Amino acid sequence: MKILINALSGNGDALMFSSVIPILKNNLSDGNNVIIDMLVMFKSVKEMYHNNPYLNHIYHIDFLKQSKLKSISEVLSLRKNNYDITINVYPSNRAEYNILNFLLGADKRLAHNYIHSNIFRFEFLNNFTVNEKKDVHNVLQNYELVKKILANSENSPGALEIFLSDKDKNNAVEWFNSVNPFNKLNIGFHAGSSTMKNHIHKRWSKEKFAELGNLLMEKHNANILLFGNEFDLNNEINSLMGNKGIIASTSNYMDSLARLSMCNYFFSNDTAFLHSAAAFKVPTVAIFGYTNADELFPWQNKHKIVRLDLPCSPCFYNSPKSVHCIYSGSNDEYKCMKNISVAEVYNAFLELFGN
């Protein structure tokens, strides 16, 4: 049996399928040879899954940067692998993803029917579907989907998984020894976010991250490690902290993840780094604005959620549409994130720290 997983979204969404892959492998093997491949759109997703022992091959098609003709040609080339099953990782609420799933030519094409959708998303091109459910975690949405092809549905998804190489681990240890010779508490920040679909508004303010960093250094003698490829933003935060922080991320994504795995605590907006921290079991304070914490909390990891319980929030749902605040143009725009205080986030940390 040959399976192709279409993990075409960003790192965070792609990572939340990792809990389901072992269930697929173990449940469908049954003495038979099961090949599980993955198709990704982002190079960093390929890097993140590179050492996953359940995958046979990872294909990378750069849909965003190359011509549509070249992309279609590469998809049709994959069709020659004669996959029995193809799976659109949740969420994949775009017409292009459903057309891709159809073009791959598998007998069983798995995907979701989305709450906010229409006929022009071409969900009918998939022949094994489940309905999206509100307030259900992404991991469980993926599990409900793959249950359509499992003989035994008594399994339950485990933790998120990222498999680091020995080289990545050793490099991280060496780096930490150089930046933390006195064995201080290591606290990671990810203050950035994707900018696609206007998600720059997921970000808690740089000034508040800096104030929090100064507080943690003063009260807990902590090293503040700044993660993410938003290097200008991290440099600004570090400047606001008197350049006492440490830029932890490099252009090498796996270096960043290996260093994250060694943090004692982590603070993050709703981003891939939040879910990566969950994979490494790093206790996390998660700062949420308009996205749904019930669907995106750090899966099977010690954490605290900080969000404002506003009548309008969460307002974002899975759709190709960009984020739009109902208070756009006023002082209340994105107040779900702007009005979260440093004290609220710090107190959430104290609850984790005390346990």
Q: At residue 352, does pLDDT exceed 60?
A: yes
pLDDT at 113 over 90: yes
- Predicted confidence at residue 154, as pLDDT, reads 74
Average pLDDT along the chain? 95
Identify the pLDDT of residue 31. 55
pTM above 0.85, yes or no: yes
Give the start-to-end residue ranges of the domains of the chain.
2-149, 166-354
Distance of CA 144 to the CA centre of its chain: 19
| Mean pLDDT confidence for 196-205 | 94
Kindly report, residue by residue over 1-19, the tens digit of the pLDDT.
Answer: 999 999 999 999 999 999 9
239: Cβ contacts below 8 Å, ≥ 6 apart? none
Region 330-339: what's the mean pLDDT? 96
Structure confidence at residue 151 (pLDDT): 74
pLDDT at residue 319, rounded to an integer: 86
The pLDDT tens digits for 170-183 are 999 999 999 998 88
CATH assignment of 166-354, among 3.30.930.10, 3.40.50.2000, 3.40.50.150, 3.40.367.20: 3.40.50.2000
Residue 82 is given by DSSP the state -
Compute the distance between CA of residue 161 and CA of residue 147 in angstroms, rounded to an integer. Answer: 20
What average pLDDT does range 46-70 have in this prediction? 96
Nearest-10 Cα torsion for 290, 137, 111, 257: 80
Q: How far is the C-alpha of 75 from the C-alpha of 100, rounded, in Å?
A: 7
**Residue range 336-340: mean pLDDT, rounded:** 97
Pick one of 3.90.1150.10, 3.40.50.970, 3.40.225.10, 3.40.50.2000 as the CATH number of 2-149: 3.40.50.2000
Asked whether this chain's domains 2-149 and 166-354 adopt the same fold, the reply is yes
Listed in sequence order, the DSSP H helices in the chain are 11-15, 21-29, 43-49, 68-79, 95-103, 138-146, 166-179, 206-220, 231-240, 253-260, 272-279, 293-296, 335-338, 342-354
Is residue 145 within 8 A of residue 164, CB to CB? The reply is no
pLDDT in tens, 131-171: 999 999 999 999 999 999 987 767 889 999 999 999 999 99
**Amino acid 182: pLDDT:** 87
